[in-house]
Amino acid sequence: MEEIKNENKDIVLTIILNSNGVKVDGPIKNEPLALWMLDKAKDIIKIHNIQASEPVIHKPSHGILDFVRKH
């Protein structure tokens, strides 16, 4: 019996900004795929920046009313 190989190949959409303008390489002939990848990239960038700007809440090392007891 012949073994079936399932090779996953990455699909890469590359956007380069340089002094000559913007260059896009990848599956640009497959417009629905390229636009879907671009939309997903935009979503990931937005999520990354939202998470990076969330304030970190630190729990107090002592009880919340310890400052009252010390005075």
Percent of the chain with pLDDT over 90: 52
Mean pLDDT within 34-63: 84
pTM of the model: 0.62
Which residues partner with 18 through β-bridges?
21
Q: Tell me 62's DSSP state.
A: S
The torsion of the CA quartet 54, 55, 56, 59, rounded to 10 degrees, works out to -130
Domain ranges of the chain: 14-62+64-70
CB environment 1-40: b (16+ within 10 A), e (fewer)? eeeeeeeeeeeebeeeeeeeeeeeeeeeeeeeebeebeee
Residue 16's pLDDT is 96
Position with higher pLDDT, 2 vs 16? 16
Position with higher pLDDT, 52 vs 32? 32
